[in-house]
């Protein structure tokens, strides 16, 4: 679990307690305030999670550390043109991600603002909890409980199909970017298209077999466009 620039130390404690409910024990805090007694008192029997939390200085540092990053947002859309905000439900996320091989981070933003757009762009996929439009924003620990419950529930199932790792997804995005350059794709649209492609891969949660199949197709497309054999 990743908590970006928490404002209230009590929420750090409550988040640790929620994590322990669903057998999660690794927390990353990005630019947190100095942890005071509230952080430990509200964590109850999950105090060790707070004590062992990793502290990082920037969102980019977290991105480099994780293999797969799930951003959380209280704002979602079904519009295909606003792919930055297209999100999975907790149930969908739980079914796709519980057995991912590698370091997965569920990222929660600031209590007053959430995650910035540039941070959301670095995430592989988004998740949002469906709520009333009259009051859509949830407390971070309440949202965390719902997301972690769905992941934990699906962890009771058995699936031996290994998932593609973040490094492999990066390779796919790089190959896709190379193809865009070869076909002279408009430069002002290139970044958004690459983000859209990464989100598509993130929502799919590719298996190793699917990754290698896509790489084979892209390799052939690239060589064909460049007139190579």
Confidence at residue 159, expressed as pLDDT on a 0 to 100 scale = 53
Q: Nearest-5° angle of CA 129, CA 135, CA 138?
A: 45
The predicted model gives 8-36 an average pLDDT of 96
Locate the domains of the chain by residue range: 2-155, 166-225
Stretch 86-109: mean pLDDT: 87
Could you tell me which of 124, 127, 72, 119 has the C-alpha nearest to residue 95?
Answer: 127
Q: What is the pLDDT of residue 102?
A: 86
pLDDT band at 204 (very low <50, low <70, confident <90, very high): confident
**Ramachandran angles phi, psi of 72, nearest 5°:** -110, 140
Where does the pLDDT of residue 223 fall: very low under 50, low under 70, confident under 90, or very high at 90 and above?
Answer: confident
pLDDT in tens, 65-88: 999 999 998 765 444 444 555 789
Per-residue pLDDT, 80: 45
This prediction's pTM:
0.68
Q: DSSP string of the chain?
A: -EEES-S-HHHHHHHHHHHHHTT----EEESPPPP-HHHHHTTGGGHHHHHT-EEES-HHHHHHH-SEEEEE-S-----GGGGGG--B-HHHHHHHHTT-SS-EEEEE-BTTTB--HHHHTT-SEEE-----TTS-PPPHHHHHHHHHHHHHHHHTS----PBPPHHHHHHHHHHHHHHHHHTT--HHHHHHHHHHHHHHHHHHT-BHHHHHHHHHHHHHHHHHHTT--
**How many C-beta neighbours within 10 Å does residue 23 have?**
10
Return the pLDDT at 73: 85
Q: What is the distance between the terminal CA atoms of the chain, rounded to a whole angstrom?
A: 46
For residue range 111-132, what is the model confidence (pLDDT) as tens digits?
Answer: 988 999 999 999 999 999 988 8
| 2-155 is classed CATH 3.10.450.350 | no
Instruction: Say what the alpha-carbon torsion angle 25, 31, 35, 40 is, to the nearest 10 degrees.
Output: -20
Mean per-residue pLDDT of the chain: 88
pLDDT at 195 over 50: yes
Worst-scoring range by mean pLDDT, 31-35, 95-99, 140-144, 177-181? 95-99
């Amino acid at each position: 679990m990743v908590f970006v620039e928490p404002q209230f130390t009590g929420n750090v404690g409550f988040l640790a307690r929620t994590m322990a409910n669903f057998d999660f024990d690794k927390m990353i805090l990005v630019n947190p305030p100095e942890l005071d007694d509230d952080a430990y008192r509200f964590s109850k029997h999950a105090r060790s999670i707070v004590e062992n939390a990793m502290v990082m200085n920037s969102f980019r540092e977290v991105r480099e550390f994780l293999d797969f990053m799930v951003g959380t947002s209280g704002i979602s859309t079904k519009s295909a043109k606003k792919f930055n905000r297209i999100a999975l439900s907790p149930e969908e996320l739980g079914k796709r991600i519980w057995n991912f091989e590698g370091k997965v981070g569920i990222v929660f933003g600031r209590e007053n603002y959430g995650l910035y757009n540039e941070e959301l762009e670095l995430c592989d996929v988004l998740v949002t909890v469906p709520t009333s439009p009259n009051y859509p924003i949830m407390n971070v620990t309440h949202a965390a409980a719902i997301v972690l419950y769905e992941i934990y529930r699906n962890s009771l199932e058995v699936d031996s199909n290994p998932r593609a790792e973040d490094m492999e997804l990066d390779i796919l995005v790089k190959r896709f970017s190379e193809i865009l350059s070869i076909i002279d794709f408009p430069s002002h649209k290139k970044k958004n298209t690459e983000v859209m492609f990464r989100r598509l891969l993130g929502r799919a949660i590719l298996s190793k077999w699917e990754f290698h199949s896509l790489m084979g197709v892209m390799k052939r497309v690239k060589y064909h466009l460049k007139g190579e054999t």
